[in-house]
Amino acid sequence: MRYNGKTRQQFLKELTAHTALLGAASLAPEQSHAGAIRKPPLIPQRPLGNTGRMVGIYSLGAQATVEQVGMKDQAVEIVNRCINLGINYIDTSAVYGQNGTAKKTPEMQGTSERHVGEVMKTRRNEVYLATKTHDRTYDGSMRLLEKSLKNLQTDHIDLWQIHNIKGGGKENIDQIFADDGVLKALQKARDEKIVTHLGITGHADPDPMRTIIERFPFDCALMALNAADKHYNPFIEKLIPTAVEKNMGIIGMKIPARDRIFSNGGIITMKEAMSYTLTLPVSTIIVGLDNIAELEENIRIAQEFKPLSEEEMVAIEDKVKPHHEHLMFYKGLSKWPKGWSGNNV
């Protein structure tokens, strides 16, 4: 395949050159201008686009155990341990909440925020906190924001995002930008300093997301990024270059595709999965967790991360190619197997 006349390796080389510009904070102690020794970050850090904030390259996606109804104690333990180990970016949503079954009820929504809020009531200043509205109207989103603030036990949100941008044509985009649309709510909340930064998220289709960030200067974009992306409607080619050009904070999700990337005999390891995405010009990646052991393993991978070569990235892409339809379930290529229980995202 050619990419505007380039080979895949050339395309990746040019794209990942932007990653080098982001840099990564050293884990060694640093000396301040005043001569004092500053405590080093526990996780390498990168700038979150043009927000002025530095975030660890590995962050918490508050799904999996954290969004499970009836698992408050386990969720609180995970969130606290994340912060203790150096995570300073937490992503949740007004809609996150489940009880391990396919059936979800309105009462479950907000479970993740409520569990995170149990920690935020005493540790709010230690993290950059992101949540989302899945409503596309002004009134509905403002009601959700009020609930999110209550659930999270805080008076401000660092990043408020439009949740799950999908395809569906011009009408859906026009709804977001309408006079009574969700973007008006985001702007109002920012003007009133209830939220600081604005973003969009999506995992199904990069095209409408690109259109949206071309129309409005959002601060951040959360998108699905893993080694299978290349093989169907790729965010890496269709959205990342525009987001880089606009100096947005780029957050990667679906890193192990809810553990499917380890199925079929183990396509690739978590180290390969994380290293592949972290070699891209992302500010951070978010991953859901089942338990503390997964967290500690992922922290070690982040601490030891070294960028992959273009040849190594292509080799990983080739490994997952035979399974890409299975891995691209979130883009509509396959349905969840009956009884599927994978949690990590």
pLDDT one-digit tens code per residue, 184-211: 999 999 999 999 999 999 988 999 999 9
pLDDT confidence tier of residue 321, bands split at 50, 70 and 90: confident
pLDDT over 70 at 38, yes or no: no
3-state secondary structure of 203: coil
| Token duo for residue 282 | 């992302």
pLDDT band at 328 (very low <50, low <70, confident <90, very high): low
Residue 32 has pLDDT above 50, yes or no: no
What pLDDT was estimated at residue 28?
Answer: 58
Nearest in space to 161 (alpha carbons), one of 98, 90, 109:
90
- The correct CATH number of 8-331 out of 1.10.3720.10, 3.20.20.100, 3.40.50.2300, 1.10.10.10 is 3.20.20.100
pLDDT over 90, % of the chain: 73
- CB count within 10 Å of CB 151 equals 23
For residue 267, what pLDDT band results from cuts at 50, 70 and 90?
confident
What is the arithmetic mean of pLDDT over 329-339?
A: 56
Model pLDDT, residue 298: 96
CB atoms within 10 A of CB 232: 13
C-alpha atoms less than 13 angstroms from C-alpha of 20 in its C-beta half-sphere: 8
Cα 31 versus chain centre, distance: 31
CA-closest candidate to residue 195, choices 219, 176, 214, 212? 219
pLDDT at 340: 37
- The closest alpha carbon to 127, from 117, 135, 137, belongs to 117
Would the pLDDT of 37 be above 70? no
Cα distance between residue 283 and residue 323, in whole Å: 27
Residue 320: predicted pLDDT = 85
User: What is d(CA 312, CA 294) in angstroms, rounded to the nearest whole number?
Assistant: 24
CA 221 to chain centre: 8
Residue 344 pLDDT greater than 90, yes or no: no
Question: In angstroms, how far is CA 306 from the centroid of its own chain?
Answer: 20
| % of residues, the chain, pLDDT over 70 | 84
At position 57, the amino acid (one-letter code) is I
Query: What residues does 59 pair with on adjacent strands?
Result: 286
> How high is the pLDDT of residue 341?
41
The DSSP element (H or E) to which 41 belongs, if any, is none
336 pLDDT band (50/70/90 cuts)?
A: very low
SS3 state of residue 40: coil
Average pLDDT over residues 152-169: 92
Provide the pLDDT for residue 322.
80
- Over residues 164-188, the pLDDT tens digits come to 998 766 668 999 999 999 999 999 9
- Is 150 a residue whose pLDDT tops 50? yes
Q: Give the three-class secondary structure for 118.
A: helix
Q: Express each pLDDT in 215-264 by its tens digit.
A: 999 999 999 999 989 888 899 999 999 999 999 999 999 997 766 666 65
* 244 close to 283: Cβ distance less than 8 angstroms: no
- The count of other CB atoms within 10 Å of the CB of residue 42 is 16
Task: Give the pLDDT mean for 272-277.
Answer: 95
Helix axis angle, 8-22 relative to 310-320, nearest 10°? Answer: 120
Structure tokens at 129: 């906190």
Q: What is the Cα–Cα distance from 36 to 74, expressed in whole angstroms?
A: 38
Average pLDDT, the chain: 89
- Find residue 46's DSSP bridge partners: 55
Distance CA 21, CA 127 (A): 24
Residue 104 has pLDDT above 90, yes or no: no
pLDDT of residue 110: 93
Gap between the Cα atoms of 343 and 59, Å rounded: 16
The C-alpha atoms of residue 95 and residue 112 are separated, in whole angstroms, by: 8
| pLDDT tier for residue 121 given thresholds of 50, 70 and 90 | very high
pLDDT at 339: 40
Mean pLDDT value of segment 5-30: 82
For residue 288, give both structure tokens: 């859901």
* DSSP code for 164: -
Segment 300-319 shows an average pLDDT of 95
Q: Say how far apart CA 255 and CA 228 lie, in whole Å.
A: 10
